Amino acid sequence: MHPTILLLALLLPLTVHAAKGTITGTCRVKDGDTIWVHGQGDPVEVRLNGVAAPEPKEPGGKQATEYLKTVCDGQPVKCELDGSKTRGREVGICYVNDADIGAAVISAGLARDCTRFSGGRYAGLEKPEAKHLAFPGYCSPRQ
């Protein structure tokens, strides 16, 4: 067997693919748009699909993180993963008591609808006061 093919055959099982489906566990908040789901096995880091919250050191970031903690931290959580990954994090829509936690942080005026990835799912929930929050360029729909 050619050495390159042998090497690929050995490495293929090590390829990490994003999960698609439902995971459940206990929520631990990382920041305003990212949580850890602690269930059986290793915790899974999940980026909330379509939610653009400021980073903790940006204006409003600490408030978004603290708010999400009141909604989610320590609670049972269910995440519907879409099969994609960003920066090593699974991507999905997560629920506590059947309430979408991404929708909650946007409805509180602490995050924005990332339309490129949400398809506008949260656009009607955005508060006028959220317009001052950082809006990442990657959230704008592609032209």
Indicate whether 4 pLDDT > 90: no
| DSSP helix/strand/coil, 59 | coil
Q: Which residue has the higher pLDDT, 31 or 130?
A: 31
Confidence of residue 110 (pLDDT cuts 50, 70, 90): very high
Domain ranges of the chain: 17-135
Answer whether 0.85 is exceeded by the pTM. Answer: no
7-16: per-residue pLDDT in tens? 334 433 333 3
**Side chain identity, residue 95:** Y
Longest dimension (CA), the chain: 63
Characterize 30-45 residue by residue with b for buried, 16 or more Cβ atoms within 10 angstroms of its Cβ, and e for exposed. ebbbbbbbeeeeeebb
Q: Which residue has the higher pLDDT, 91 or 17?
A: 91
Closest CA to 68 of 115, 102, 26: 102
CA distance 88 to 27: 18
Question: What class does CATH assign to 17-135?
Answer: mainly beta
Confidence of residue 18 (pLDDT cuts 50, 70, 90): low
26-74: per-residue pLDDT in tens? 999 999 999 999 998 899 999 999 999 999 999 999 999 999 999 999 9
CA distance 69 to 30: 9
Closest CA to 72 of 114, 21, 35, 109: 35
